[in-house]
Amino acid sequence: MTGAPSITGTGLSAETAETARRIERWLLQSGVQIEEGAQRGAVAGWLDREGRPEFVYLEITGYYLTTMAWLASGAASSPDRAADALEHGRQALGWITRNLSEQGVPPTRLYLSAGRSDWRNAGVFTFDLAMAARGVACFGDVARHGAWEKLAAGLCTIIESMCSGAAVLRSHDAVAGAPLPDRWSTQPGPHHLKSAAALLRMPVGVLGAPLRRVCHRTCEHWEAMLQEAWPCRELHPLLYGMEGLLIGALHTEDEALEVVERLYARLMGLQTVDGTLAETTGGGIVRSDVLAQALRIGLLLRSRGYLQGDYWAGRLDGLMRALLGFVRPDGGVLFSGGQDIANAWCAMFAHQALLLHSRSADQAPLAAVASELLV
């Protein structure tokens, strides 16, 4: 660890900042958040080629709340956009509140047209609930929303009941006993570091003592696993694990960040000469969410004095340039090449990553906000 926190300019900062503004506009004006009807305030997983939402998603609505808090806390391009973010966040908060009070947890993917089936709806996932709780807490704190603690506590209570008697966070509860396919998202894994770290930041009274103990054990277990052999091949959940370590290390000593730096350097050994990362340790497609996650982690480490020097500046520039190629002119962000749908979570991750990269002059204060509000 050397030198003062900083991120070097790249000559593309103006383009990167403008791209971030386009993504911001898409997040606020594209219709990715449902504007009317029974699902008003919910956020779609993506918009199809005609710009229509296919389904709404509790996890992504939680991300959206954190993103609206991020915009309202200094990341918005104007005061008007910050005010818009507060209104969009209130609508998302309203949708979660209505669902929990009227019907409990909504289906994992709530399709907006009849006759659609999805294997994910055979389970209720702790990760989704934790990201919703995190979004509620982040936005409620920024917006000074008086009822957020009760809503977050309700989500935490559901997670606690799902994990009763467990050593670490369980992946999901099956609905009506239906089996789920064997995927990283249906198994306990390093992604639960992000869930556990986020939940542990809840105030006393929101997070019950039994769940707090499970979350502490979850963090200890998966941090140890990450420092040994990778517990899965997919980079997306591995990066979630590193994000969890960052969230947990916000107010701790440098030793915790040194662990993240070592893990990150190991993962970046997979970066190719064109700046990209494949979706797994063994290759595969290039995904914009993976690129944005990797770029965010590297920038936040660099803002704290790690990954210094031209070598790491070049590695992060490579991720940034690769990510720019996934952003459409309208600000929608493609999940991967060869697609023409705009993905909501990819847009939220990309906005945070590109804005962090573009603001070299005020990186320290912006990075502090991003660390607190890591989407």
For residue range 293-338, what is the model confidence (pLDDT) as tens digits?
Answer: 999 999 999 999 999 999 999 999 999 999 999 999 999 999 999 8
- For residue 204, what pLDDT band results from cuts at 50, 70 and 90? confident
pLDDT at 72: 97
- For residue 104, what pLDDT band results from cuts at 50, 70 and 90? confident
Pick the most confident of 89-103, 271-285, 350-364. Answer: 271-285
pLDDT at 361: 52
Residue 6 lies in a domain: no
State yes or no: pLDDT of 360 exceeds 80: no
**Whole-structure pTM value:** 0.95
Q: What is the mean pLDDT of residues 338-356?
A: 96
Q: What is the mean pLDDT of residues 20-34?
A: 98
Mean pLDDT of the chain: 92
Domains identified in the chain, total number: 1
CATH code of the domain containing 22:
1.50.10.10
State yes or no: pLDDT of 250 exceeds 80: no
Residue 352 lies in a domain: yes
Residue 4 lies in a domain: no
* Alpha carbons 154 and 122: distance in angstroms, whole number: 21
Measure CA 270 to chain center: 22
Q: What is the mean pLDDT of residues 65-78?
A: 97
Residue 1 lies in a domain: no
**Residue % of the chain over a pLDDT of 90:** 83
Residue 3 lies in a domain: no
pLDDT at 59: 98
Residue 336 lies in a domain: yes
Host domain of residue 302: 13-372
pLDDT at 298: 97
Residue 303 lies in a domain: yes
- For residue 176, what pLDDT band results from cuts at 50, 70 and 90? confident
